[in-house]
Amino acid sequence: MPPKGLKNPARQAAFERIFNPEYLAARKDISQVMLQCAQGKLDQVAKFLEEEHNKFEIFTINRDGNSMLLVAVANQHVNLTKLLLDLKSELDHRNSMHMDALDYALMHGVRTPIAKAVLNHCDYVVPEALEGVYWHKSLSALRDLKDDGVLVATTSHLGKTPDFVNPHARDAEYTVEWLSDLHYAVGHTKKGLLLLSHEIGYLEKDALMTGALEVPEAMRAVYMMDTHKAIRYASALKRTDIYGQALEKRIIDACCEGDFPAVQGVLKAKASANVEDVYGQTALMRACKIGDSKIVRALLLNKAIVDQESRDGYSALLIASVNNHGEVARMLLRCKADAFKKTCKGNAVMSFIQHEGHRDIIKIINEEHDRQLKKQAPRFAPKART
């Protein structure tokens, strides 16, 4: 059965010419030990490499740019691959076709024994980023990591990154399979998934475009370009110099601007829905001011406190009502916002709105109040005592 990545007959024939042991046996540029790698002769290769004067043979390449490791992996010799990797064969070496060991290991799928053997030697898996400014940042971070001796595996073999911004695409079969394969790949590396930048802009896009934040938090890390170190994602969230303050500022700004994708991204990145600006206004209050129902819904789903008041004594419901945002007001009321509770200045929302004369909002408040009373009323009247 041809590898999944080589369905084209011409590409399959080219693959056979540079990796099939029968072809290699007739070539003059192939050493005896490289041919044994293609044939999967584990004991003979191990005995050869035990000799001190042969230990550097593991780094030699033929005219196709293939090493012993690439030849062994392409022919799916699992135990031989493990031996070569244990002996520090170069995992990220690319041949003349710009393919490395992981590319060949994953040709038959991410869950094969050969794929697992190669993934086990990677420190991190990096999801494919979409092209653009963040893609270039990720390439820069990858180069820095590799210069630092970190083994990084890319996931371009999983196919084109799904459109995580599109809610209708999230449950598509391809998206589910893509994430499932990514989870598997990450689960078999040493340290997990690498988020390539500590910049909020990248993290926000990463959350929506690459599926990085779909992977369990314990499997993620953050790359610090200044120190060439990777730290756990949970630790990065706690440090104000990395994500803390920047996440708080970003969600407030995004709510003010009505930037729903940005709010989605930073909430998924673990930004709090209850951060306050310098005036004591929460992200929810900011969203209520402009009346963006999608942002308000996202914040409420992330446990935003409904009846919190700003330093001026204003609640989210009061702000939405004064600005005549009926849909948002109804949403807050259904999340148990209290229209009759008095603020710290002694004014109830209902009284304030009546004074302002917003009839539509008054109608909504009354409808929701009646609805709540009906829900609380007993379904059956008690039987009269005889």
Give the pTM: 0.76
pLDDT value at residue 377? 59
Question: Long-range contacts for 247-252 (Cβ within 8 Å, ≥24 apart)?
Answer: 247/200, 247/271, 247/272, 247/275, 248/272, 248/275, 250/200, 250/204, 251/275, 251/283, 252/277, 252/283, 252/286
pLDDT tens readout for residues 287-308: 999 999 999 999 999 999 998 9
Nearest C-alpha neighbor of 99 from the set 15, 20, 39, 31: 15
Q: Lowest-confidence range among 1-5, 33-37, 224-228?
A: 1-5
Task: Write the DSSP string, 117-175.
Answer: HHHTT-SEEEPPPPSSHHHHHHHHHHHHHHHTT--EEE-GGG-SPP-TT-TTTTTSHHH
Q: What is the mean pLDDT of residues 236-254?
A: 89
Q: What is the mean pLDDT of residues 110-136?
A: 86
Count of helix runs (H) and strand runs (E) in the chain: 20, 5
Tell me the chain's radius of gyration from C-alpha atoms.
29
Q: What percent of the chain has pLDDT over 70?
A: 91
pLDDT at 258 over 80: yes
What is d(CA 81, CA 71) in angstroms, rounded to the nearest whole number? Answer: 9
pLDDT at 105 over 70: yes
pLDDT tens readout for residues 126-161: 887 667 677 777 788 888 888 888 888 887 777 777
Confidence of residue 253 (pLDDT cuts 50, 70, 90): very high
Q: Lowest-confidence range among 42-46, 141-145, 328-332?
A: 141-145
What is d(CA 44, CA 273) in angstroms, rounded to the nearest whole number? Answer: 62
Q: What is the mean pLDDT of residues 31-44?
A: 96
- Residues ≥6 apart with Cβ < 8 Å to 111: 181, 184
Three-state SS at 358: coil
pLDDT value at residue 198? 84
pLDDT value at residue 1? 43
Name the helix (H) or strand (E) containing 229.
strand 229-232
Tokens linked to 195: 């988020």
Between residues 312 and 67, the one the model is more confident about: 67
pLDDT at 170 over 90: no
pLDDT at 5 over 60: no
What is d(CA 14, CA 261) in angstroms, rounded to the nearest whole number? Answer: 44
pLDDT value at residue 2? 46
Q: What is the mean pLDDT of residues 1-19?
A: 72
pLDDT tens readout for residues 266-288: 998 889 999 999 889 999 999 99
pLDDT at 340 over 90: no
Q: What percent of the chain has pLDDT over 90?
A: 42
Residue 131 Cα distances to 97, 145, 327, angstroms: 22, 20, 37
pLDDT at 76 over 50: yes
Residue 146 Cα distances to 141, 315, 374, angstroms: 9, 51, 65
**Average pLDDT over the chain, rounded to whole?**
86
Confidence of residue 325 (pLDDT cuts 50, 70, 90): very high
Q: What is the mean pLDDT of residues 156-177?
A: 77
Task: Write the DSSP string, 13-32.
Answer: HHHHHHH-HHHHTT-TT--H
pLDDT at 166 over 80: no
Question: Long-range contacts for 139-145 (Cβ within 8 Å, ≥24 apart)?
Answer: 140/225, 141/196, 141/197, 141/223, 141/225, 142/196, 144/223, 144/225, 144/228, 145/194, 145/223, 145/228, 145/230
Residue 347 Cα distances to 313, 318, 350, angstroms: 9, 10, 8
pLDDT value at residue 13? 85
Confidence of residue 366 (pLDDT cuts 50, 70, 90): confident
pLDDT value at residue 189? 92
At 333, phi and psi to the nearest 5? -65, -40
pLDDT value at residue 300? 96
Q: What is the mean pLDDT of residues 152-174?
A: 77
Say if CB 97 and CB 130 are below 8 A apart. Answer: no
Confidence of residue 7 (pLDDT cuts 50, 70, 90): low
Using CB atoms within 10 Å of the CB of residue 335, give its burial: 0 to 12 exposed, 13 to 18 middle, 19+ buried: middle
What is d(CA 386, CA 384) in angstroms, rounded to the nearest whole number? Answer: 6
Confidence of residue 80 (pLDDT cuts 50, 70, 90): very high
Confidence of residue 116 (pLDDT cuts 50, 70, 90): very high
